[in-house]
A and B are shown apart, each in its own frame.
Chain A
């Protein structure tokens, strides 16, 4: 295997203007194709960690390398481009632009990611295939995102994160808004697609019940030294 998908070393970060709140991560490495669950309570710094991996915030010190690139060496625009090309993101809920169609939402990242665009020569067809694979009904592409159920919206978010095969998928408690049956279905579909694409998956959650599905489970408490930044 080549370089790690995600490699954090000696990272220190604190939100500007928020006093002592911050986190420090001595070391975190995720191999390509690995699925990792980060368990932690709310406020444990999970979302901040994801923001660091995505490059929307920058560590004050240390190295954050994603898909073999040190984000500190990139400009703001460079980090945006890098995120678009290499990272698919799934939020907890309200993932979609409610006024856009499902297709608009799924194709949105391609607008900012030339590499993913290249890997996806027929975006509409790919979007339709992803929707079918994720068990979304026929004709869903032309529906307005706001008209879908929460479960369907989360699956559309998965399709959007997967389109153009980004090497890394980042998911921030994507099942917390779903009931138990839907959660299981959702995870089945997500893992099926991640396996099919060979992507790396980093999911943060406070729910340890899904741990058996992952290659590795880490506790946020083990990963970070909170407040030590």
Chain B
């Protein structure tokens, strides 16, 4: 009966209580939403590259190698010679190996030279492969496959010409050897979306007339002539490696790191990703802290609502006291009301979150490549909800204790 009366009392103040519930619901939805985005982003990040056992590059730091080889951020300090690459490819532990060559750009996007094996072996989000949305992967020497962001930003479609610039943020262009967009990849949510992919030979081809980073004055080899040339690469920036058995990953890593001909570094992408997340993860903590503050603000709002209702409810409390309710019952009633309010707010918040998720999930995936899984609330999220309800009950103790004191001093008479 008391629970029913508490509910009826809340219902009688539907407008103010409704506003409080809405504030709690929004804060809970925000908190859980941030949590979803955070875990989604973390999972997306960790799944930027999967299925690759080792990334091999010139010796630097593991995060740096990961940054330039996978995220196309920063530059390699050095290259891996083609001979070393072939040595590595010949090792028995190597199941497959894909070279990548970086250094040129197109507008704000990086150009990456690789082989068509890249499209078979580069996986993201566990087992998803690269798929062309339009056109096909490169067939000709001067074909380029572009990521979805490149196409969307620059408005490219299949068969459009592309001129690659030498270096990054450079005004010197490889105008003599224009490329053709042969295919556009589907959105992946990985750095591939922002990459122009050409063949290893193409990288060599556009540098035929270049020496030591500068164009040889007056020399312009026609494309047809280039096609006849030996375009075997002299170096690669890094290589993605798959091993024959997971057990051999570490022995191959050691072998690469101890390679005598050249200082090389082999990294486990998963471990390096974890390391990198440790650096960028500070932002997630900040985000979480902000959403916690929002929940706290909503709960303080709840406390303020109870406080402001106390005076108009002194009569109600006096009636309950006259009927034999102890001051503790009055206190318990207020705490119960607050817990009910917080509970309704929390449940509404969850409903709101799932509603928004259901609508926004495909859009977020398409726009940011961020996949937000719609799963039942996890145990941790249920704890959060319980925590919000408990916190609601706890903050209501402050006005409830005041109500307790008032009901003691008022007795059955109300002096306002």
Residues of A within 8 A of B (CB): 16, 47-48, 50-51, 54, 56-57, 76-77, 80-81, 83-85, 89, 91, 94-100, 104, 107-109, 111-113, 160, 172
The DSSP consensus for interface residues of chain A is helix
Find out whether the CB atom of A95 lies under 8 angstroms from the CB atom of B319. Answer: yes
Using Cβ atoms and an 8 Å threshold, which residues of chain B touch A108?
Answer: 1, 5, 319-320, 323
Using Cβ atoms and an 8 Å threshold, which residues of chain A touch B316?
Answer: 97
Chain A CB within 10 Å, residue with most, of B2, B323, B329, B412: B323
Chain A CB within 10 Å, residue with most, of B4, B320, B324, B326: B324
Partner of B319, one of A47, A54, A84, A97: A97
Instruction: Please give me the residue from chain B that is nearest to A46 by CB atom.
Output: B413
Instruction: Please give me the residue from chain A that is nearest to B319 by CB atom.
Output: A97
The DSSP consensus for interface residues of chain B is helix
Find out whether the CB atom of B326 lies under 8 angstroms from the CB atom of A80. Answer: yes
Find out whether the CB atom of A109 lies under 8 angstroms from the CB atom of B323. Answer: yes
Using Cβ atoms and an 8 Å threshold, which residues of chain B touch A57?
Answer: 411
Size band of the interface chain B makes with A? 20 to 34
A-facing mask of B1-23, CB < 8 A → 1, else 0?
A: 11011001101100000000000
B325 at the binding interface (Cβ < 8 Å): yes
Find out whether the CB atom of B5 lies under 8 angstroms from the CB atom of A113. Answer: no
Bound together, the chains give a CA A225 to CA B219 distance in angstroms of 122
Instruction: Please give me the residue from chain A that is nearest to B1 by CB atom.
Output: A111
Partner of A99, one of B8, B325, B409, B411: B8
Using Cβ atoms and an 8 Å threshold, which residues of chain B touch A109?
Answer: 323-324
Find out whether the CB atom of B324 lies under 8 angstroms from the CB atom of A84. Answer: yes
Find out whether the CB atom of A50 lies under 8 angstroms from the CB atom of B412. Answer: yes
Partner of B323, one of A48, A84, A172: A84
Q: 21 interchain pairs (CB within 8 A)?
A: A51-B412, A54-B411, A56-B412, A76-B326, A76-B327, A80-B321, A80-B324, A80-B326, A83-B324, A97-B8, A99-B12, A100-B5, A100-B8, A104-B1, A104-B5, A108-B323, A109-B323, A111-B1, A111-B2, A111-B323, A112-B324
Bound together, the chains give a CA A16 to CA B12 distance in angstroms of 34
Bound together, the chains give a CA A48 to CA B8 distance in angstroms of 31
Find out whether the CB atom of A89 lies under 8 angstroms from the CB atom of B411. Answer: no
Using Cβ atoms and an 8 Å threshold, which residues of chain A touch B325?
Answer: 80, 112
Chain A CB within 10 Å, residue with most, of B320, B321, B326, B327: B326
| A86 CB → nearest B CB, Å | 10
Using Cβ atoms and an 8 Å threshold, which residues of chain B touch A96?
Answer: 319
| B315-347 interface (Cβ within 8 A of A) | 315-316, 318-329
Using Cβ atoms and an 8 Å threshold, which residues of chain B touch A91?
Answer: 318-319, 322, 412
Using Cβ atoms and an 8 Å threshold, which residues of chain A touch B324?
Answer: 80-81, 83-85, 109, 112-113
Find out whether the CB atom of A54 lies under 8 angstroms from the CB atom of B323. Answer: no
Find out whether the CB atom of B412 lies under 8 angstroms from the CB atom of A98. Answer: no
| B371-416 interface (Cβ within 8 A of A) | 409, 411-413
